[in-house]
Amino acid sequence: MSEINNNTPIDEMTIGGNIYEAGNARNFKTGDWRSVKPVFIRENCRQCGLCFPVCPENAIPVSKDDLQRTDFNYDYCKGCGVCAKVCPFSAITMKEEGV
């Protein structure tokens, strides 16, 4: 994949929406276009493990040392809210971005 910037000629750009390389999602930090974001309330979390497998962007890290979930990776979180819906302990709430 080539570097695209303000000086890239139009004829060297790829057509938007087309995927030319498999597994390239981690090359792009896509979390900056969300309108709501999840807020992790650590004291409510019981480490049940229901939230991280449902995250479509794998934006809920789990520590490899003690298998404890940690705060969100906001570089990739798109604010879909699935994690908040599945959490039975109200350890995740959704907040309007920028508020």
d(Cα 14, Cα 73) in Å, to the nearest integer? 28
Q: Which of 33-47, 58-72, 77-91 has the lowest mean pLDDT?
A: 58-72
Q: CATH number of the domain at 11, please.
A: 3.30.70.20
Q: How far apart are CA 87 and CA 26, in angstroms?
A: 26
Arithmetic mean of pLDDT, 20-31: 73
Q: How confident is the model at residue 22 (pLDDT cuts 50, 70, 90)?
A: low
Could you tell me the pTM of the whole model?
0.71
Q: Which domain does 84 fall in, by range?
A: 1-99
Mean pLDDT rounded to a whole number for the chain:
87
pLDDT at 1: 47
Q: How many domains does the chain have?
A: 1
Q: Say if residues 31 and 77 touch (Cβ distance below 8 Å).
A: yes
pLDDT for the residue 5: 82
